[in-house]
Chains A and B, each alone.
Chain A
């Protein structure tokens, strides 16, 4: 990992080499080791490492940017020169949005040496335990086990310096039997010590066991019990489609004109908070603004969306909420440390309370049908079960859903008290949910 001293030295070289009135230099990157396995054998096992320097300048009223993954002094100077050249060639004025204030920020300790130093042998040994568990049942295990680190270091000639590092560990697992009946489970954390690979294996294997009794169920509207992994898919689209001030200003966000209005059920609350222990993150955004908690939806009422310095200027009374992204911020500000507030239920209770419905492990290939309503489509996958009279009675084929997202979140019957963490849409901490009358419009041929 690039140390703070080393990063600062490179950034200072870039700042010193720049003739621009305003210069921001970013040094970002990291290392990732990923062990991938299929049908009980490791088939891809990789290590990659890369860092890049991004220099953004505002020179004579125009912005230019260049990046490179070379950090020797000559290359740093060349990157700066390229950014300045691009700025000079711009035909219209533009601004580099970065905070003028130099604010102290809290250090957030998310780096674990043992995680990034985990050897390929140690990863292989954990995979072997998973594979042995699957093989013992006559099943095939496929998955990915990764550890990574990431450094974000920023310097501005205003005097701002920011440095943040974190590690991640992620295990996803799909177990299948000889008929390709599948079960999926996953676990994500900031340290590899927290990853419960045995628990993940048990959950995935149990789903394959449960899948043996097959049922046929066609499209329709059903109550659904969504595992945390399925809720993540819906939550991601809620955030991406609604929560950027840029989209609000352009009229494409469902939050446009609706602050203070009820847009989901009253039991739904979504908060972005990089200071929360469940979704911790960098204390400063990419424009040097401190990150603060932001309640997006509170008890179903639209409360706020994310601003950066540029969008805040366009909205009277608004201020940056600390969600700025690096230039060019094509998608605008975005909240990346989101949590859905818990309820008081659990998966077992949700199943027991369901007369006839579907248990969904996770979704696949979700996409936007309509961004404003919004309408989302996708497929179920790897563990989709029929619930009858409060019990899982067997598996069904995969179904396609088409749902109006806000309407779905208005029909949440139960929310679990436990939540799981995911490296999705940045970071997400979500509960499981039971939603009434979820719309399925089709399925794979054996589901018809």
Chain B
């Protein structure tokens, strides 16, 4: 990889690039899908290629190719430089990169058991056991379970002298039971919706999830939901946690604090943000117990890394501190436009994609109250966990979420479940209504493997560490109240 990278960089300089970086990535991916106690599919992918990014007279060009012969590398570099020169024809703001030391080094994500060495029979056996348990619930019509594993070696090098090799191993798994009766379709997932929990981890994660121990409960709740009352409509206090709070942080803070949105770089697709530069340091985003950080150093989080795709070492950045908006997620080219240091959030989906400002691990700091105390101190509310549906406007203000179920809370006690809960809000009003955050006892880092952004669209694996949080007077039950 290093020889190919050096060749590409030397050619880039020769052809007129002021700066160039190269990513060569080798990736193996395995996924197992079971449905209704049968094997729906076993996926085994291998991919290898190079992406070269050049900066010529202040404009970026990028070309990617899977063929790393010297001739093809030469073609890719020439194309990247030609593309950069073509960009200059339109004029406009020239790209400047923040000053960064060129790093050399290696990084590996933490893992104990290499999932690619675990026999397929063992993996299928674990999932099949879950399928058998879920299928015992008569009202469950479809059972689904899956695992997937990613192994990636990435070499990054730049004309500034950076030379970094990173190895990542990621694992994930989940189960779901679907119950259908008439016009009712109800799903319960474990440990999270959309195929489960994902981390930078080996097969030890799969074993720790206790999928089979929770399969019966998962199926039972799906069945119960068929006859459960519809979530009421009105203003309620809500307690959200697990993958739902992770997604709330993701949509209303993670994306909202991506600096490229401020400059309209996603205006045509993913949107902009209400967190404009004039708000930095003086805008109340949430109540004063809300603290949100971007942290690529929590190594086990799905979005963690050693160095971003600008070659910047993983960093921890305050985004919201004591409720005030204090920081952005940025890259070298975006940070320079506001005179800040980069937060180290330049990430590309794969070798054939250009780095964009992406989340790593965006975490809500735990509070000082236990989850049990939070429930006990709630007079009238709903607990909302696994996400089922999500939507937010192009400024990251108006959002609406749907969950798999809600637990009603009355006078500090859980009194029953409701189906099809939804809630809606406006981001800063919502976060300012946060009056309690659960402590570290219930804090966990949840993987979100399917964050989409960019044109062409790139899917990124990110994570969010959250416990539970309570929000006062939230509008609940939208969509069903016609």
Q: Which residues of A approach B to under 8 Å, CB–CB?
A: 32-52, 63-70, 79, 82-83, 86, 89-92, 94, 119-121, 123-125, 127-128, 131, 140, 142-144, 146, 172-174, 176, 180, 182, 184, 250-252, 327-330, 364-373, 375, 377-379, 381-382, 398, 400, 402, 404, 439, 441-445
Known interface pairs A38-B267, A65-B42, A90-B39. Does A252 touch B185 (Cβ–Cβ under 8 Å)?
Answer: yes
Find the B residue at minimum CB distance from A374: B185
Q: A40-B92, A66-B44, A400-B400 are in contact. Are A328 and B33 (CB under 8 A)?
A: yes
Which residue among B90, B271, B398 has the maximum number of chain A CB atoms within 10 Å of its CB? B90
Please determine whether B45 and A67 come into contact, CB atoms closer than 8 angstroms.
yes
- The reply to whether B89 and A372 contact each other, CB–CB distance below 8 Å, is no
Once the chains bind, are B394 and A65 in contact (CB under 8 Å)?
Answer: no
Contact A42 B389 (CB under 8 A): no
Q: For A41, what are the chain B residues with a Cβ–Cβ distance below 8 Å? A: 87, 90-93
A124/B264 in contact, CB under 8 A:
no
Residues of A close to B454: CB separation below 8 A:
44
Contact B62 A45 (CB under 8 A): yes
Check B398–A49 contact: CB distance below 8 A: no
- Contact indicator A143/B391 (Cβ below 8 Å): no
B residues near A (Cβ < 8 Å) are 33, 38-49, 51, 59-66, 79-80, 82-84, 86-87, 89-93, 95, 119-121, 124-125, 128, 141-142, 178, 180, 183-185, 263-269, 271-272, 352-354, 356, 389-395, 397-398, 400, 402, 420, 422, 424, 426, 454-456, 475, 478-480, 482
A92 to B119, CA, bound (A): 15
B39 and A92 contacting across the interface, CB-CB below 8 Å? yes
Which of B125, B264, B353, B394 is close to A364, meaning CB atoms less than 8 Å apart?
A: B394
| Distance in angstroms between the alpha carbons of A347 and B460 in the assembled complex | 39
B317: min CB distance to chain A, Å: 23
Interface contacts beyond A38-B265, A44-B62: sample of 19 additional A-B pairs, CB < 8 Å, sorted by A: A39-B263, A39-B264, A69-B66, A90-B39, A90-B42, A128-B91, A131-B90, A144-B268, A172-B268, A176-B264, A250-B180, A252-B178, A330-B40, A364-B393, A381-B271, A382-B394, A398-B393, A402-B478, A442-B398
The residue of chain A having its C-beta at the shortest distance from the C-beta of B186 within the complex is A372
Give the number of residue pairs across the A-B interface with Cβ within 8 Å.
272
| Contact partner, A64, options B42, B141, B393, Cβ 8 Å | B42
Chain B, Cβ-Cβ closest to A381: B394
Which of A50, A172, A368 is most buried by chain B, counting CB atoms within 10 A of its CB? A50
Write out the residue numbers on chain B whose beta carbons fall within 8 Å of the beta carbon of A402: 400, 478-479, 482
Main DSSP-derived SS at the A contact region = strand
Interface pair B390/A367, CB less than 8 Å apart: yes
Residues of chain B within 8 A of A123, CB atoms compared: 86
In the bound complex, residues from chain A placing their C-beta under 8 Å from that of B142 are 250
Q: Are A119 and B265 in contact (CB under 8 A)?
A: no
Q: Decide: A444 and B46 in contact? CB cutoff 8 A.
A: no
Contact A442 B424 (CB under 8 A): yes
With the chains together, A251 CA to B141 CA distance in Å?
9
Q: Are B79 and A47 in contact (CB under 8 A)?
A: yes
20 residue pairs A–B, Cβ–Cβ below 8 Å: A33-B83, A38-B265, A42-B59, A42-B87, A47-B64, A47-B79, A50-B49, A50-B64, A120-B86, A121-B86, A142-B264, A142-B265, A250-B180, A366-B391, A367-B389, A369-B389, A369-B402, A379-B392, A441-B478, A441-B479
Contact B43–A328 (Cβ < 8 Å): yes
Contacts of B90 in A (CB 8 A): 37, 40-42, 124, 127-128, 131
Residue of B nearest to A254 (CB): B183
**Residue in A47, A86, A127, A174 whose beta carbon sits within 8 Å of that of B62 in the complex:** A47
Q: For A132, give the chain B residue with the smallest CB separation.
A: B90
> Which residues of the other chain, A, contact B426 by a CB distance below 8 angstroms?
444-445
Residues on the B chain within 8 Å of A378, using CB: 391
Complex partner residue of B46 from A35, A36, A68, CB under 8 angstroms: A68
Q: Is the CB of B183 within 8 A of A89?
A: no
In the bound complex, residues from chain A placing their C-beta under 8 Å from that of B268 are 36, 38, 142-144, 172-174, 184
In the complex, which residue of chain A has the Cβ closest to the Cβ of B355? A44
Residues of A within 8 A of B356 (CB): 44
> Are B394 and A398 in contact, with the CB atoms below 8 A?
yes
Interchain nearest-CB distance for B323 vs A (Å): 19
Contacts of A128 in B (CB 8 A): 89-91
Q: Most chain-B CB neighbours within 10 Å: which of A45, A365, A368, A404?
A: A45
- Asked if B394 contacts A119 (CB within 8 A), the reply is no
Given contacts A69-B49, A94-B38, A121-B86, contact A370 B63 (CB under 8 A): no
Interchain CB contact (< 8 A) of B456 among A32, A66, A121, A140: A32
Cα A124 to Cα B88 in complex, Å, equals 8
Q: Taking CB as reference atom, which chain A residue is nearest B92?
A: A41
Chain B residue with Cβ nearest A87: B42
Cβ–Cβ contact A124 & B46, under 8 A: no
Q: Are A125 and B89 in contact (CB under 8 A)?
A: yes
Q: Give the CA-CA distance A36 to B260 in the complex, in Å.
A: 13
**Choice from B42, B60, B272 contacting A45 with Cβ under 8 Å:** B60
Contact A34:B455 (CB < 8 A) given known A47-B80, A251-B180, A369-B389? yes
Min C-beta distance of B423 to chain A, whole Å: 11
Partner of B392, one of A46, A49, A365: A365
Residue of B nearest to A33 (CB): B83
Q: Are the CB atoms of A404 and B183 closer together than 8 Å?
A: no
Contact between A119 and B86, CB atoms less than 8 A apart: yes
- Taking the closest CB of chain A, its distance from the CB of B248, in whole angstroms, is 15
Contact A45 B84 (CB under 8 A): yes
A105 to chain B, nearest CB (A): 26
| Complex-state Cα separation, A430 to B270, whole angstroms | 23
Shortest Cβ distance from residue A430 to the other chain B in the assembled complex, whole angstroms:
20
In the complex the two chains form, what is the Cα distance from A55 to B254 in whole Å? 39
Q: Would B393 and A379 count as touching, CB distance under 8 A?
A: yes
The distance from the CB of A365 to the nearest CB of chain B, in whole angstroms, is 5
Name A119's closest neighbour in chain B (CB-CB).
B86
B272–A48 CB distance below 8 A: no
Chain A residues near B271 (CB, 8 Å)?
A: 364, 381
* Complex contact A377–B389 (CB within 8 A): yes
Q: Which of B33, B121, B391 contacts A367 (CB 8 A)?
A: B391
Contact A86 B482 (CB under 8 A): no
A40 surroundings in chain B (CB, below 8 A): 90-92
Interchain CA distance A396-B204 in the complex, whole Å: 53
CA distance A267 to B86 in the complex (A): 48
A372 CA / B388 CA spacing, docked (Å): 14
Q: Are B60 and A48 in contact (CB under 8 A)?
A: no
Q: Say yes or no: A404 contacts B482, CB within 8 Å.
A: yes
Contacts of B266 in A (CB 8 A): 38
